[in-house]
Each structure stands twice: as C-alpha cells, then as structure tokens.
Amino acid sequence: MLERITNFMAHPETLLPMPTVDDPLERFVSVVKFYLSGWHIKPPGVKKPLNPILGETFTGYWDYPDGTRGYYIAEQTSHHPPKSSYFFMAPEHSIRIDGTLIPRSKFLGNSAGSLMEGIAVLRFLNRGSNKEKGERYILTQPNMYARNILIGKMKYELGDHSYVRCPENKLVADIEFKTKGYFTGAYNQIGGTIKNSETGQVYYELSGYWNKEMFITDVRTHKKELLFNASTATHTPPQVRPIAQQGERESQRLWQTTVKALLERNHEVATDEKTKIEDRQREEAAKRANDGVEWHPKLFRRVQGGPGGADEGEEDLDWIINAQIDAHNPELATKQILSIAPILEGQTESSQYQIPPHKEGREAAPPDHNGAAPSAAQPASSGGEKLEEVQRKDTRTSDVDTFVDAKP
C-alpha cells in the first residue's frame, strides 16, 4: 500500500507543469488532470496489496528529465484503524504533497469494498497568499471494489464521488467514478464538473474512462478536448535503494520473501511468511502494553490543528511529516528531506533514523532548527553513548552527509 500510493506521482508530465500555470482556473484544471492520471496504474487482475504493519516505511525518488528530483516518504502510522501517511516534494518545482490514506473494508455480498477515507493536501509553494503554506488543494479518493469474489470472474472497479478543492480560489471538482449496473452502463466511466464553490457556476464538464481517454468540455464554448489518455500514457515508478541497504521495516525488504513466494505461486510459503510478520507485530504490541510504552511513528507527528495551530485546516491529515522543510530554498529543502530517512542509494538505516519508545502520555519532540525531528535523529542513550554516523556507500550524497551528521 505504501508503495502503491506513488502511482499519483508517476506521471511527471502532468505533475511538474502545474505550478507554472498563471491562470487560477486553468491551474485548477491542470490539478484535476494530474489527479486523474494515476488511477490506471494497477497490477493485472484483482490483487489485494499486503497490509502494511505498524511502523513500516517506504521511500523512493524520481529523476526528472530537467535534472531535478522528487522525493517520497511514507510510514504506516496506525494499525487499528490502518493509516498510511505520506510526504512528497519536488523542491525545484515548488510542489509538496502531504497525505494520509485510511482504507476501511466492507463486504457487500458478492463484492468486497475498500472505502478510501483520508485526504491529501497538494501545495504550490510559489503560489497563494500564505508564503509558507502555499496555495492548497484538498484531494479525496474514490472507493475501490472487487466484484464477483464468490461467483463469476473477479473484476476491479473504482466507484463513488471524489473531490478536488482549492479553498483559496473557490474552485471544486466533483468527480464521479461510475460503477457498472447489472444491465446498464460500462466499466471505468467517469463524469463530473468543475465549478465555483460559492456561486455554483459550472465551468467545465468531465467525461470518459479513467483507464482510457478522459475529456473536458468548456460549458461556455461547448469545446470538448482530450484531458488525458491513460491507454497510451507511460508511468514512471520511483527509484528505490537496493534491498541490501534497506532497514528491516522498509516495505520491499520486509515483504521480500512473501512477495517471492507469491510470484512463484507458492501460496503455502507466502502464507507462512506473512504469518511470521503478523505474529511478530502482535508480540511487539503485547510487549509495549506490558512495559507501559506507547508507540509513536518515527517519521511523522500528529497534526497540530485548530484555530492558530501550525496545521490549521489540515486536521483530516491526522499525521504530517515530522520535519520543517524550507518552502523556498530547494537546496536546503533537499538536505532537510534527506535527513529525515534514507532515500538515495548509498544511504542506509542506522541509529540516526531510530527513535526510542515513548512512555504513555508523551509526544515526540518538535522539529529542530535544521528541520529534522530530534526524536528521529537522537535516540535515547545512557552513559553518554555516542550516536552512530549514517553509513554511506556513495559520494553522490557527500554534500548531504555533512548536513545529516552535523550536531545541533
């Protein structure tokens, strides 16, 4: 699940141009195009992703054609209910995304649904009246359904309404992912409108298929144009560090034996490996309860919402990256991001990225002046134990090493 979220950042051709569009309405249209471009990316057939365990992490990055990069960090911040929190930033392009995905299962006779709660906040840091927050777009997701789970050929569907909102520019897109009826309709259709959220004036209508061609029609001129063609688009998955450099709770290393068995269609071994991971998680939970220790994410902190709060208006995120990231200095922002967790090849997990358990009732410390969370960078020690340095294997990260390993 943590890795599959990156589908939304997998089309740089829709992602990177958005902040450069000057007209607010056309910029909003570009956001809708970006939003719709990721849904077609899915494995063949109906496959349920492995449920992330508490504290599981995934990081990755994209190398863009213009020589810049985008960075992604995700962590499973809750198990009951499951919550997957994530952070993305392309510093040179003034794009930042914070999100929390909260799937909730529901069985409907011959179908199983995954109701996708939670939101994502997309920011253009070069826009908006608030120079630190940027121009914000609030995104929700459609629900996902597996049809014919008991009888018939299984089929994957997206369904129900999702929304893209820009409160600052008073714009909203209401997008319906249409489910097929028993006797009418077709699979994978969408419909929707882009309108003024205050007056209700409709500017555009949306139509087509989320896995094929999608169209936008200007209701003022009745001109219909292709918005995005998913059937010919090529997505770009993130680059990920080799498994040998990953920590034991990073997704690809954690699930590698389970995934290998599934690919070999050895379901007995896959079940055994999956059970081992789940049993370990239960043992850890029992030990925390016995020791009076409350678990906290190591990379994310609770949202500080409410009037005057640091994250006012973003309460539905629940968790947000536990670091201060510079909004206007790409070089500094990159160093701050790379100090949160290992992302690039050559970075490996060490005590630099570990946090001590929290006694019940205690929260993690706020980010330090360099933007890194002290709780993620300075584990508790007794007797003045020296903090390990981050292990490096690649000179490409040498300029970041000094920043990461520097003492406050």
Q: What is the pLDDT of residue 348?
A: 83
Work out the pLDDT band at 226, boundaries 50, 70, 90: very high
Between the ranges 47-51, 167-171, 262-266, 399-403, where is the mean pLDDT highest? 167-171
- Return d(Cα 166, Cα 22) in angstroms, integer: 15
Q: What is the pLDDT of residue 46?
A: 40
Kindly state the helix (H) or strand (E) to which residue 360 belongs, with its residue range. Answer: none
Q: What is the pLDDT of residue 146?
A: 87
Work out the pLDDT band at 377, boundaries 50, 70, 90: very low
Q: What is the pLDDT of residue 361?
A: 55
65-70 — which CB contacts under 8 Å span 24+ positions? 65/12, 66/16, 66/92, 68/92, 68/93, 69/334, 70/9, 70/12, 70/15, 70/95
Question: What are the pLDDT digits (tens) for 45-94?
Answer: 445 567 899 999 999 999 999 999 999 999 999 998 999 999 999 999 99
Q: Is residue 349 part of a domain?
A: no
Work out the pLDDT band at 394, boundaries 50, 70, 90: very low
* 358 against 83, higher pLDDT: 83
Task: Write out the residue range of the structural domain in which residue 250 sits.
Answer: 4-338
Cβ–Cβ < 8 Å for 72, 6 = yes
The percentage of the chain sitting over the pLDDT mark of 70, rounded to a whole number, equals: 84
Q: Is residue 375 part of a domain?
A: no
Q: Is residue 347 part of a domain?
A: no
Q: What is the pLDDT of residue 38?
A: 93
Q: Is residue 379 part of a domain?
A: no
CATH no. for residue 91? Answer: 2.40.160.120
Question: What are the pLDDT digits (tens) for 313-338?
Answer: 899 999 999 999 999 999 999 999 99
Q: What is the pLDDT of residue 109?
A: 84
Q: Is residue 401 part of a domain?
A: no
Q: What is the pLDDT of residue 80?
A: 87
Work out the pLDDT band at 203, boundaries 50, 70, 90: very high
- Return d(Cα 115, Cα 208) in angstroms, integer: 23
Helix pair 330-338, 398-405: axis angle to 10 deg = 70
Q: Is residue 11 part of a domain?
A: yes
Q: Is residue 323 part of a domain?
A: yes
Residues paired with 225 in a beta bridge: 216
Q: Is residue 242 part of a domain?
A: yes
Cα distances from 318 to residues 101, 116, 315, in angstroms, run 10, 15, 6
Number of domains within the chain: 1
Work out the pLDDT band at 108, boundaries 50, 70, 90: confident
